[in-house]
Amino acid sequence: MRLDKFLGDHNIGTRKQIKEYVKNGRCSVNGAPVLKSDVHINENTDEISFDGIVLTYSKNHYYMLNKPVGVVSATTDKKQETVIDLLKDENVKGLSPCGRLDIDTEGLLLLTDDGELIHRLLSPKKHVDKTYEVHIAHELSDNDVRRLEEGLDIGDRNDDGSKKLTLPAKVTYKEDMKTDDEGNPVILLSIHEGRFHQVKRMLEAVGNEVLFLKRLSMGALFLDPDLEPGEYRELTDDEKCSLDIK
Q: What is the pTM of this model?
A: 0.82
Pair (141, 207) in one structural domain: yes
- Per-residue confidence (pLDDT) for residue 59, from 0 to 100: 79
Considering the domain architecture, whether residues 40 and 89 belong to the same structural domain is answered as: no
* Catalytic annotation present for 244: no
- Give the pLDDT confidence score for residue 56 in this predicted structure: 82
> Same structural domain for residues 139 and 164?
yes
97 and 62 within one domain:
yes
Q: Which domain holds residue 189?
A: 129-218
* Local confidence band at 94 (pLDDT 50, 70, 90 cut-offs): confident
Q: Are residues 143 and 170 in the same domain?
A: yes
Nearest Cα to Cα of residue 156 among 145, 167, 144, 146:
167
Instruction: Provide the 8-state DSSP code for 223.
Output: -
CATH of the domain at 28: 3.10.290.10
Instruction: Indicate if 51 and 62 belong to the same structural domain.
Output: no
Residue 120 and residue 232 in one domain: yes
Residue 154 carries which side chain, given as an amino acid letter?
I
CA distance 33 to 52: 11
Shared domain check, 237 and 192: no
φ, ψ dihedrals at 200, nearest 5°: -60, -40
Count the domains in the chain. Answer: 3
Residue 128 buriedness (CB in 10 A; 0-12 / 13-18 / 19+): buried
**Structural contact between residues 107 and 99, judged by C-beta atoms closer than 8 angstroms:** no
Query: Is there a single domain that holds both residue 21 and residue 98?
Result: no
Q: Which residue in the list 102, 129, 153, 156 is annotated as catalytic?
A: 102
CATH number, domain containing residue 118: 3.30.70.580
Domain co-membership, 75 together with 188: no
Confidence of residue 86 (pLDDT cuts 50, 70, 90): very high
CA distance 31 to 164: 62
The domain boundary, picked from 24, 39, 55, lies at 55
Residues 142 and 198 in one domain: yes
CATH code of the domain covering residue 206: 3.30.70.1560
161 and 119 housed in the same domain: no
What would the pLDDT profile of 113-170 be if each residue is shown by its tens digit? Answer: 999 999 999 988 888 999 999 999 999 999 999 999 999 999 999 999 999 999 999 9
